[in-house]
Amino acid sequence: MAKTKTSYFCQSCGYESAKWLGKCPSCQQWNTFVEEVVEKGAGNSPDWKTSSNTLSRVNKPAKVQEIVYTEDHRLITPDKELNRVLGGGIVGGSLVLIGGEPGIGKSTLMLQVALTIPKLKILYVSGEESEQQIKLRAERILPHPVSDCYILTETSTQNIFKQIEILEPSLVIIDSIQTLHSAHIESTPGSVSQVRECTAELLRFAKETNTPVFLIGHITKDGMIAGPKILEHMVDTVLQFEGDRHHVYRILRAIKNRFGAASELGIYEMSGAGLREVSNPSEILLSQRDEPLSGVTISATMEGMRPMLIETQALVSTSPYGTPQRSATGFDTKRMNMLLAVLEKRCGFKLGAKDVFLNIAGGIRVEDPSIDLGLIAAIISSHEDMPVSYKTCFAAEVGLSGEIRAVTRIEQRIAEAQKLGFEQIFISKYNKKGLDLSKYEIEIKTVSKIEEVFNLLFG
């Protein structure tokens, strides 16, 4: 009988140590090490049993020139937003991890995908809900599913693989990876060693059978995916499901993607019948108003390869307590302070004793610097109480010296503004290089300094 081997793991980052440590050398957290059994003993059977041909095959090195490349066969789902985020569809043999806040809609999205792919055998494994609970949600989402969706409530990986061998599904969904446990590891489900071992078993299964596997993962209170960091390294794609539960819109963002762009996103609207795709996000992010309001401007931003027009709002008021407040929702507060310093230093606006509040409408968070000019215009509009025309939008970055800097993909931003009926757009004059202005019906204003923008807007 082999001796049981134990080791100490950091529950925060997954760092492994042979002895207990008070402070983790990797993430600098205190009192996070827990002893776990990492090896039960000799004689463990393989987790995923393959054919004798696969077991006897020995990989040999090959020249790059001799390797034959075949185009990845992708499974196209009826969900166009998911296809976009994955890079064009589900790749065979891929391992996809989806993380998000509790109650944000991860299980709803995956069950919706499992019910709507036609003529496909799909296995939905749940370790958190009963069959009756899943049936209730399925009736609400799609009473008459078009796929052969099988539900399995199980947490043991050995039992799951037995059912997979019998059923032979074309797609496997695991809800969630933190609830699974392997008999080869003597530790509780959700621990570092269990999450790592269960993911490794599913990874071997996906690669050897060319079956795509979706894993739903929990997140920590900091918003990071729970478990060791190696979990994100092992999978092919990491998707983050974001959004505020008090808003109806959800964002599916690709953080890592080996088969496509890692900056794409999909937008959904949560309803009683599940998640609805939002094909044109600009329409939901812009409020329908008939008259211009001070402190409100429209900015053209890019999320991945998709152009979006968003509403940027600012409120500037006199501070009643002498200590001004600076608050931003959906935007980096440090960058807001930088823009306010540029306005005060380069343009002479006295904002030091003013409360400044910024808001990105729709409950989304934007990191694209192209909304700098729109935010500055909104701040001055609120400060002077002079509205900006709701037919005007902005797409430019602002530098520390007050210059208007060029941004990427300016043609797509201009085309999106023109499609939605805007009459003029402010861009940097450095974006004019290689830009054919004659093919656009929208009026394009090119500026190089903040002062030029204020003169054109407010006279």
Q: What is the pLDDT of residue 306?
A: 83
The Cα–Cα gap between 229 and 307 comes to 32
Give the HSE-up count for residue 260: Cα atoms under 13 Å, Cβ half-sphere.
Answer: 25
**Residue 107, marked binder:** yes
Q: At 390, list the tokens.
A: 């709701």
Mean pLDDT of the region 161-168: 94
**pLDDT level of residue 247 (50, 70, 90 thresholds):** confident
User: Is the CB of residue 147 less than 8 Å from the CB of residue 116?
Assistant: yes
Instruction: Find tokens 């296995």 and name the residue.
Output: 123
Of 43-52, 60-69, 381-390, where does mean pLDDT reach its minimum? 43-52
Where do the structural domains in the chain lie, given as residue ranges? Answer: 5-39, 74-279, 285-458
Give the HSE-up count for residue 424: Cα atoms under 13 Å, Cβ half-sphere.
Answer: 13
**pLDDT tops 60 at residue 50:** no
How does the average pLDDT of the chain come out, rounded? 87
What's the longest Cα–Cα distance across the chain?
Answer: 87
Question: Which string of DSSP letters, residue by residue, matches 172-241?
Answer: EEEE-GGG-B-TTS-S-TTSHHHHHHHHHHHHHHHHHHT--EEEEE-B-TTSSBSS-THHHHHSSEEEEE
**Residue 227, marked binder:** no
**pLDDT tops 50 at residue 256:** yes
The Cα–Cα gap between 199 and 178 comes to 10
Most confident listed range (44-58, 129-143, 225-239, 349-363):
129-143
**Residue 193, marked binder:** no
Q: What is the pLDDT of residue 39?
A: 60
**pLDDT tops 50 at residue 52:** no
User: Any alpha helices (H) in 313-369, and if so which ranges?
Assistant: 333-346
Q: What percent of the chain has pLDDT over 90?
A: 50
Q: Which tens digits make up the pLDDT trace of 396-433?
A: 999 999 999 999 999 999 999 998 889 999 999 999 88
**pLDDT tops 70 at residue 151:** yes
Q: What percent of the chain has pLDDT over 70?
A: 93
29 SS3 class:
coil
Mean pLDDT of the region 288-300: 84
**Residue 330, marked binder:** no
- Judged on CB neighbours under 10 Å (0-12, 13-18, 19+), 400 is exposed
User: Is the CB of residue 225 less than 8 Å from the CB of residue 97?
Assistant: yes
Q: What is the pLDDT of residue 46?
A: 45
Q: pTM higher than 0.85 for the full model? A: no
372 or 2: which leads in pLDDT: 372
Q: What is the pLDDT of residue 48?
A: 57
Q: Which tens digits make up the pLDDT trace of 303-314?
A: 877 888 999 999
**Residue 102, marked binder:** yes
Closest by CA position to 386, among listed 298, 453, 296: 296
Q: What is the pLDDT of residue 347?
A: 85
Its sign, for the CA torsion 176, 177, 179, 184, is positive
Q: Which tens digits make up the pLDDT trace of 374-386?
A: 999 999 999 999 9
**Residue 443, marked binder:** no
Q: How far is CA 139 from CA 105, 142, 186, 272, in A?
A: 16, 6, 38, 11
Q: What is the pLDDT of residue 234?
A: 92
The Cα–Cα gap between 339 and 351 comes to 11
What kind and span of H or E run contains 282? helix 281-285
**pLDDT level of residue 32 (50, 70, 90 thresholds):** confident
- Judged on CB neighbours under 10 Å (0-12, 13-18, 19+), 233 is exposed
User: Is the CB of residue 396 less than 8 Å from the CB of residue 372?
Assistant: yes
Could you check whether 74-279 and 285-458 share the same CATH topology? no
Most confident listed range (120-129, 187-196, 347-356):
120-129
**pLDDT tops 70 at residue 44:** no
- Amino acid type, 361: A
377 or 347: which leads in pLDDT: 377
CATH number among 3.40.47.10, 3.30.230.10, 3.30.70.1290, 3.40.50.300, domain 285-458 = 3.30.230.10
**pLDDT level of residue 53 (50, 70, 90 thresholds):** very low
Of 210-214, 243-247, 276-280, 352-356, where does mean pLDDT reach its minimum? 243-247
**Residue 46, marked binder:** no
The Cα–Cα gap between 254 and 266 comes to 9
Mean pLDDT of the region 73-98: 92
The Cα–Cα gap between 161 and 178 comes to 17
What kind and span of H or E run contains 299? strand 296-303
Task: For domain 74-279, give the CATH superfamily.
Answer: P-loop containing nucleotide triphosphate hydrolases (3.40.50.300)
**Residue 401, marked binder:** no
Mean pLDDT of the region 61-84: 86
